Amino acid sequence: MSVRGLQGDGVFFEANQINDNARRILLTNGATTMLTNSARNGTLSFRVARVSKDLYNTPLSGSQSLQNVPSVQTISNSLIPGVQASGDLVLFAGYLQQTGQSTGSTIAVYYDINGSTEIVTFLNCGLKRCDPLKLSGSDVQIYEISFDYSDFLRT
C-alpha cells in the first residue's frame, strides 16, 4: 500500500529509537562503568491527513492536493485480504485497531537523497496509536499515527 495524504510541510515521518544503546553507571568509588546493548527497536510516527472515505479508494472531495509527496513511499505487507487498499493510513490504522494484528507488518520507507533512492525497512511493526476521529474548522485535520518496530534494515 502506498501511503497518500502525508503532511506536506514540516516533519511528516519520524523513526525514533526507544531504548538507549549505552548507559553510564556511577560506582561507589567515584568511577563509572558503561553498559551497552544492540537494541534497534523504536517507534515510527506518521503525520497524515485522511484522504479517502473507505478502504476501497473512494477519495474525499478536495483531497487531491494532499496526495503523493513524491519522495516518500511507505509499503506494508499486512494489507487487508481481498481489498485494494486506498493508501489512506488513517483508515488502514483503524482497520488494524478493529481486527488486531498478531504478526506485525514490514514497513519500507523509500526516499531520494543526493540523486539516489535509499530504503529503510522496519520489521515487525505493530500499530501503537491512532485517534479514531479528529475534526476542526477550515483546516485539514492531521492524524499522528504510531507503529512500534523491533528492528530495521538500511539498503
Domain assignments of the chain as residue spans, ordered by start: 13-154
DSSP string across the chain: ---B-B-SSS--EEEEESS-SEEEEE-TTS-EEEEE-----EEEEEEEE--BSSTT--BPTT-GGGS--TT-EEEES-PPTT----SBHHHHHHHHHHH--SS-EEEEEEEEETTEEEEEEEEEEEEEE--S----SSSPPEEEEEEEESEEEE-
Residuewise pLDDT in 10s, the chain (155 residues): 566 667 677 788 899 999 999 999 999 999 999 999 999 999 999 988 887 776 655 555 544 333 333 333 344 434 444 444 557 888 888 888 888 777 788 888 888 888 888 889 999 999 999 998 888 887 788 899 999 999 999 98
Claim: this prediction has a pTM higher than 0.75: no
